[in-house]
Structure 1
Amino acid sequence: MTVQPPTPFPQPAPVQTAFHRTELNVILSLYGRMVAAGEWRDYGISNLSDMAVFSVFRRTAEHPLYRIEKRPRLRNRQGQYSVVGMDGQILKRGHDLKTVLRVLERKLIRAVE
């Protein structure tokens, strides 16, 4: 029986980017209001090595309507938060998540007759 010696330099675990709890509270608050308005129905969260993505769907089996992305690498440039439309166009980008999400809250404002 041969025993393998431990590697002298263990490989570090790959670092994943994720939304913090306070960031998720802001996103899920907007999500709940949009579900109540009948605009959104499902969501998905992806934690990748360079970014975290919160995808919003109208139906489960389709492309996302919007993607809320967090890219910490862009923190010191144009801002780490962005809202991306279905066609891949960046609708809003900035340093403050609440400010960036305002572009989606405009969809809740409707004229009352």
Structure 2
Amino acid sequence: MTEPPEGQRRESDGQERPASGVVDLTLYRQSLDPLPVTFHRLELDAILWIYGRMVGEGEWRDYAIDHLKDKAVFSVFKRSGEYPLYRIEKDPKLAAKQGAFSVVATDGRILKRGHDLKQVLKVFDKALKALD
């Protein structure tokens, strides 16, 4: 005899009926939580193109991607054990205002913000090196 699908019970006569009053809390919570914000393929391609160029120049060595409830973050590192040098963030709540995309420095300064990711990533075309 096969088990009934989750959330259903089998009657004594073999018919299935929905369970009343029994709710799986993990399924309930997942239905309430929105999907996390993610980078689309074209956005990720643009970011990884810049990342590859900077790795080739020896500036960056590692990255991390975080998909959170309210924003997506691509962090770049000089060494994996440090704070990120830059964070490329996508925050859809700001899309109608200043723009969904931004580049944030280690100290929290927003270096560039805008609606078009490729325009925002042009901040890396300039030399962003600390003065010795």
TM-score under structure 1 normalisation?
0.86
Question: 1:74 and 2:94 equivalent?
Answer: yes
Q: Which residue type is aligned with residue 59 of structure 2?
A: E
Deviation at 1:87, TM superposition (A): 0.2
Q: Which residue of 1 aligns with 2:40?
A: 20
Which of residues 33, 45, 58 is equivalent to 2:65? 45
Structure 1: where are the runs of 5+ without partners? 109-113
SS in 1 for 2:89: strand
How many Å apart are 1:10 and its aligned residue? 3.8
- Which contiguous aligned blocks of 4+ residues in structure 1 show a shift greater than 2 angstroms? 3-7
Higher relative contact order (CA 8 A, sep 6+): 1
Aligned to 1:99: 119
Following the alignment from structure 1 to structure 2, what is the Cα–Cα distance between the partners of residues 10 and 39?
45
CA deviation digits over 1:48-82, x for unaligned, max 9? 00000000000110000000000001110000000
C-alpha separation in 1, matches of 2:127 and 2:69:
31
CA RMSD in angstroms comes to 2.1
The question of whether the paired residues in 2 share the 8 Å contact of 1:30 and 1:105 is answered with no
Q: Displacement of 1:6 after TM fit?
A: 4.2
Q: What's the % identity of the aligned pairs?
A: 55
Task: Find the aligned partners of 2:104 and 2:112 in 1 and give their Cα distance.
Answer: 7
How many angstroms apart in 2 are the aligned matches of 1:58 and 1:47? 21
Query: What is the TM-score with the length of structure 2 in the denominator?
Result: 0.74
Structure 2 unaligned residues grouped into runs of 5+? 1-8, 10-18
Instruction: Count residues with an aligned counterpart.
Output: 106
Secondary structure at 2:38 match in 1:
coil
